[in-house]
């Protein structure tokens, strides 16, 4: 019984894989559970307790064979510690061993976007692609680069922190301590800021999404703004890595083309030589908001991709 847990800025999501895959080899989620994230100012132990609670609920109280843990932020190359996470309290924290003690089963740890990429390469939108870039758009922005079916982790294990690329010199302050980071313009928090500052509304992210789906012009305008900024950053990633496909995940991407169409238009406008190259398709994740948790479960089952 393999469980994956995704620890994000607002929630902790656990999924349990079915003991047997589907006839076509596809990954099947047998159960899931979600608990609130205690907050970035909560004690480390409170977050780890939330992880254990989510595992307990997803397994109906049974002890899992192994648990994969997906965390936002900088995870060390050995998969032992979360060095820093802008939206979580962990700072150089030995998260793997702490959670392992709580759940009573072996735990594997990796960055959330790396886990999402593992899910999408194994059985999702990037399956069969020679190379792929994955961008997760949630509270902030995460990312991963896949080459020849394997996630590229970098010298410190911290590759793919695309959300903290500077896109506006001396721009908006970011929770990471820098200014002008991409995620300040193309994320869930950016969406809420656009609604509040530019459009005078105080809806939170899920409420903006619901309003946009219902046809509200202000909410759709907010998604167009965030989608355009998403395209700006993706154009830079395509210029840098020339991937075969760009996969967009994270909770904000659940609105689909309301976000992706402005991003696609901006990608074509902002990408150098777009008319002289094959522009990679910009597609949603197959696993949606569960991608990181599913990838974490695969990490527990199969090891690192």
- pLDDT single digits (tens) 55-67: 999 999 999 999 9
Confidence of residue 54 (pLDDT cuts 50, 70, 90): very high
In a domain, 122, yes or no: no
In a domain, 257, yes or no: yes
Query: Are 72 and 199 within one domain?
Result: no
Q: How many domains, the chain?
A: 2
- Residue 109 reports pLDDT greater than 90: yes
What is the structure's pLDDT at 276?
Answer: 93
Query: Are 46 and 191 within one domain?
Result: no
Question: C-alpha distances in angstroms, 223 versus 22, 173, 183?
Answer: 36, 21, 14
| Model confidence pLDDT, tens digit, residues 112-167 | 999 999 999 988 999 989 999 999 998 889 999 999 988 998 888 889 999 999 99
Query: Are 73 and 179 within one domain?
Result: no
Of 253, 41, 297, 261, give the one whose Cα is nearest residue 142: 253
- Residue 31 reports pLDDT greater than 90: yes
What is the structure's pLDDT at 20?
Answer: 73
Place of tokens 């991608």: 291
Question: C-alpha distances in angstroms, 284 versus 23, 80, 135, 258, 290?
Answer: 24, 30, 10, 12, 12
Query: Are 294 and 275 within one domain?
Result: no
Query: Are 239 and 294 within one domain?
Result: no
In a domain, 121, yes or no: no
Q: Is 151 helix (H, G, I), strand (E, B) or coil?
A: strand
In a domain, 97, yes or no: yes
What is the structure's pLDDT at 295?
Answer: 95
Q: Which stretch of DSSP H or E encloses residue 68?
A: strand 66-71
- Residue 305 reports pLDDT greater than 80: no
| Model confidence pLDDT, tens digit, residues 176-226 | 899 999 999 999 999 999 988 877 888 888 888 899 999 999 999 999 999
Q: CB–CB of 146/126 below 8 Å?
A: yes
In a domain, 149, yes or no: yes
Average the pLDDT over 32-46 and give the result: 92
Query: Are 136 and 255 within one domain?
Result: yes
What is the structure's pLDDT at 21?
Answer: 67
Q: Which domain holds residue 250?
A: 128-285
Query: Are 133 and 266 within one domain?
Result: yes
Query: Are 276 and 137 within one domain?
Result: yes
Average the pLDDT over 46-59 and give the result: 97
In a domain, 65, yes or no: yes
Query: Are 135 and 279 within one domain?
Result: yes
Average the pLDDT over 244-265 and give the result: 94
Confidence of residue 33 (pLDDT cuts 50, 70, 90): very high
What is the structure's pLDDT at 24?
Answer: 65
Average the pLDDT over 79-97 and give the result: 93
Q: From CA 159, how far away is CA 259, in angstroms rounded?
A: 25
In a domain, 264, yes or no: yes
Query: Are 38 and 71 within one domain?
Result: yes
What is the structure's pLDDT at 22?
Answer: 65
> What are φ and ψ of residue 176, in 5° steps?
-75, -10
Q: From CA 172, how far away is CA 66, in angstroms rounded?
A: 41
Please report, for the domain that includes residue 294, its CATH number: 3.30.420.40
Query: Are 37 and 148 within one domain?
Result: no
In a domain, 123, yes or no: no
Q: From CA 164, how far away is CA 303, in angstroms rounded?
A: 27
Q: Provide the CB-side half-sphere exposure for 156 (13 A, CA).
A: 11
- Long-range contact list for 256-259, CB < 8 A, 24+ apart? 256/284, 258/212, 258/213, 258/220, 258/223, 258/224, 258/227, 259/137, 259/223, 259/226, 259/227, 259/230
Query: Are 240 and 138 within one domain?
Result: yes
């Amino acid at each position: 019984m393999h469980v994956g847990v995704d620890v994000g800025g607002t929630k902790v999501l656990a999924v349990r894989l079915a003991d047997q895959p589907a006839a076509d080899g596809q990954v099947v989620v047998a159960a899931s559970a979600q608990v609130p994230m205690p907050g970035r100012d909560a004690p480390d132990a409170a977050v780890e307790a939330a992880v254990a609670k989510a595992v307990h609920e997803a397994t109906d109280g049974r002890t899992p064979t192994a648990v994969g843990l997906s965390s936002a932020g900088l995870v060390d190359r050995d998969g032992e510690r979360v060095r820093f996470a802008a939206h979580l309290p962990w700072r150089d924290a030995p998260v793997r061993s702490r959670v392992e003690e709580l759940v009573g089963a072996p735990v594997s740890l990796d960055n959330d976007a790396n886990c999402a990429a593992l899910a999408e390469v194994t059985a999702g939108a990037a399956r069969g692609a020679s190379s792929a870039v994955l961008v997760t758009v949630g509270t902030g922005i995460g990312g991963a680069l896949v080459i020849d079916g394997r996630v590229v982790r970098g010298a410190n294990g911290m590759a793919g922190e695309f959300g903290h690329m500077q896109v506006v010199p001396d721009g908006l302050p970011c929770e990471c301590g820098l200014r002008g980071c991409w995620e300040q313009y193309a994320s869930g928090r950016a969406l809420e800021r656009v609604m509040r500052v530019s459009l005078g509304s105080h809806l939170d992210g899920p409420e903006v999404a619901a309003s946009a789906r219902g046809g509200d012009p202000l909410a759709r305008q907010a998604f167009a703004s965030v989608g355009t900024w998403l395209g700006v950053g993706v154009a830079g990633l395509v210029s840098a890595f020339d991937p075969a496909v760009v996969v967009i995940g994270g909770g904000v991407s659940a609105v689909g083309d309301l976000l992706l169409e402005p991003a696609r238009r901006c990608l074509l406008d902002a990408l150098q030589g777009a008319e002289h190259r094959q522009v990679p398709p910009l597609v949603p994740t197959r696993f949606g908001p569960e991608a990181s948790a599913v990838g974490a479960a695969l990490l527990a089952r199969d090891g690192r991709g």
